Amino acid sequence: MKASDYIAHFLSKHTKYAYGGQGSSVIHFIDSFKKNKKINFISGQSEQGSSLAADAYHRVSGKLGVTLGTSGPGIINFLQGMACSYFDSIPGLYIAGAPTINNIRKNKKIRQIGFQEMEVQDMVKPICKYCKIITKIEDLSYELEKAVHIANNGRKGPVLLEIPDDLSRMEMPKKLKRFKVKNPIIKKNNLKIDQVVKMIQKSKKPLIIIGNGVQSSKSLNSVKRLIKKFQIPYACTWATAHHFLTTDKLNSCVFGVAATRFGNFTLQTADLLIFLGTRLSSQIVGANLSKFAPKAKKILIEIDKQEFTNHRLPKIDLKINCDVNLFLNEINKVNLKIDNSIINPWIKKINLYKDKYKIVTEKNINHKKDVDPYFFFDHMFNVVKKNSIIIPDASANLIWTYQALKIKKKLNMFTAFNHSPMGYSMAAGVGAFFADKKNTVIAIIGDGSMPMNIQELETIKNYNCNIIILVINNKGYSLIKQTQETWLNSNYAGVDKKSGLSLPDNCRIAKAYGIKTAVLKNNNEVKKNLKKIMNTKGPLLVDVMIDPKARVKPKIEFGKPLHNMSPLLSKNEINEILKS
């Protein structure tokens, strides 16, 4: 069997799609993928778009995201998707072509021998779990199995194999070299279950924080069982927030630098925080570490031991280095009775904050001139179809979506949380569509971010993807403007037409690609038409004319603790909350 046919056959057991673009060193792969009946090759407009599609394909299907591209320029275009996957622990396999074996440099000080030859390993290492150039056909089966194993296990992430053009067309050896998996030895006493239970017993205001590790280790059911059994309140990082009803009395919802006052008040007043599978990023803890949940004892359960060495980690009282799934299985075996008379006042308080500090106000609802973003996203959650896949992009539209989060039905929701490149959502939408063709993909994107991957409108049109693109059109980079207003005396530079940034008319562009369009000019039109739009079959681009003056409110300004969101509340009000 030809090597490229073998790879297509091998990968068809791990995924149904490979994304990417053509080139002289991947031509045999694409030939094999096209011939294989169990795996489909999706041609993107640029390898960047394809890498983002593959990243999102995994987030929706749970299957391996596979991206193919040619050596040199193709690989450079992989980097955006690879970084998204690396920082959010998304498994992915990148296959890159390389010049023929004889044309690969032996002396690395020579710049280039083969056409489009490039030093790839050093370039991708910081954002890749494993990378290897294969120069012997005998190694191919072993390296492929090893790469896929590494991508899918431990803290997950992307891997890359560079395969020379002539190797891709060689015959596979009769006897295949195999990669053997060593099962790790698990010591259950390292899970420190007894200590955790004692800390819960002592606590009057415990809060479980559900991080991405819970999702990535497929432990959502285990965590739900734990919450139900112990009736302990919980909060979610953005990555897991859509899995829990926001109306649940135990759910204090999202928290962090750009979240809600009620979520942050809960965290700041808790006396025990149990962090499950989260690395406590700066977006969560803010810049003022000593004032992050100052009253709480903190337990961190995290698979990656390097995270415990993070110099920006708040003080952790109990560190447990293990797969969160293992921890949850063990703690779920414990019979622990939580005293209702202790926990109920805490639950009551959380719900009081949720009610008093609601994000959407009458002012947002009654806004007349154009569309108010908080009203828009609040209403979007009312009318979005069950099982839709919502993908916000970078910037203000992302924060508005999570601040207004309302989970009343089953939804899927994600973005490239930690890398957050502009233009993620539309390209990611392609991968999400192939992962779940039955449901609608909603790609939310700022007018400033649209141009970053605008070429993928052609892919969306070509494959007739059921994607509704909501362009949050506020005539510029509103979040950057907000920063300029706060720290640079409103000296706008490179953020809108007046300050030198020109942005295109997205409806005209979409029409040129052959995509239908709609416009929502004000709250009233949103109220009247958004439900119908959400029930339309994509592709469809909707230009939502957002108030250019609307800002992210409330928000933590750099250096302030989580309870001090701007616009600031009175000292008395804050002190009352912190005291209670």
Ligand X SMILES: Cc1ncc(C[n+]2csc(CCOP(=O)(O)OP(=O)(O)O)c2C)c(N)n1
**Footprint of ligand X on this chain (CB under 6 A)?**
394-397, 420-422, 446-449, 452, 472, 474, 477-480
Residue closest to ligand X (Cβ): 446
Cβ-based nearer residue to ligand X, 332 or 483? 483
Q: What SS3 class is residue 207?
A: strand
Cβ-based nearer residue to ligand X, 62 or 500? 500
Cβ-based nearer residue to ligand X, 293 or 541? 541
Beta carbon of residue 572, minimum distance to ligand X (angstroms, whole number) = 33
Beta carbon of residue 508, minimum distance to ligand X (angstroms, whole number) = 17
Beta carbon of residue 447, minimum distance to ligand X (angstroms, whole number) = 5
Cβ-based nearer residue to ligand X, 162 or 543? 543
Please identify which residue in the block is written with the tokens 């049109």.
461
Cβ-based nearer residue to ligand X, 302 or 496? 496
Cβ-based nearer residue to ligand X, 237 or 478? 478
Beta carbon of residue 392, minimum distance to ligand X (angstroms, whole number) = 10
Q: For residue 94, what is the DSSP state?
A: E
Q: d(Cα 142, Cα 173) in Å, to the nearest integer? A: 12
Cis geometry, peptide bond prior to residue 554 (ω within 30 degrees of 0): yes
Cβ-based nearer residue to ligand X, 134 or 495? 495
Beta carbon of residue 417, minimum distance to ligand X (angstroms, whole number) = 12
CA atoms within 13 A on the CB side of 45: 17
Cβ-based nearer residue to ligand X, 140 or 520? 520
Which residues have a Cβ under 8 Å from the Cβ of 186 and sit 6 or more positions away?
A: 322, 326
Distances (CA, A) of 206 to 238, 267, 520: 20, 9, 44
Cβ-based nearer residue to ligand X, 172 or 452? 452
Q: Which residues share a beta bridge with 117?
A: none
Structure tokens at 55: 């990243």
Beta carbon of residue 128, minimum distance to ligand X (angstroms, whole number) = 19
Cβ-based nearer residue to ligand X, 114 or 448? 448
Would you list the DSSP string of 375-386? HHHHHHHHHSPT
Please report how the helices 261-269 and 340-356 are oriented relative to each other, as an axis angle in degrees rounded to 10: 150
Q: d(Cα 163, Cα 165) in Å, to the nearest integer? A: 6
Q: d(Cα 198, Cα 305) in Å, to the nearest integer? A: 24
Distances (CA, A) of 529 to 41, 176, 313, 408, 525: 36, 59, 46, 20, 6
Cβ-based nearer residue to ligand X, 124 or 131? 124
Beta carbon of residue 499, minimum distance to ligand X (angstroms, whole number) = 13
Beta carbon of residue 271, minimum distance to ligand X (angstroms, whole number) = 36
Beta carbon of residue 455, minimum distance to ligand X (angstroms, whole number) = 14
Cβ-based nearer residue to ligand X, 243 or 555? 555
Distances (CA, A) of 46 to 4, 51, 529: 22, 9, 34
Beta carbon of residue 445, minimum distance to ligand X (angstroms, whole number) = 7
Please identify which residue in the block is written with the tokens 């791990």.
14
Q: d(Cα 103, Cα 112) in Å, to the nearest integer? A: 9
Beta carbon of residue 161, minimum distance to ligand X (angstroms, whole number) = 26
Which residues have a Cβ under 8 Å from the Cβ of 572 and sit 6 or more positions away?
A: none
Q: How many CB atoms lie within 10 A of CB 165?
A: 22
Structure tokens at 535: 């029930």
Cβ–Cβ under 8 Å, residues 351 and 252: no
Q: d(Cα 364, Cα 575) in Å, to the nearest integer? A: 27
Which residues have a Cβ under 8 Å from the Cβ of 221 and sit 6 or more positions away?
A: none
SS (H, E, C) 67-91: EEECCCHHHHHHHHHHHHHHHHCCC
Beta carbon of residue 405, minimum distance to ligand X (angstroms, whole number) = 16
- Alpha carbon 522 to chain centroid distance? 30
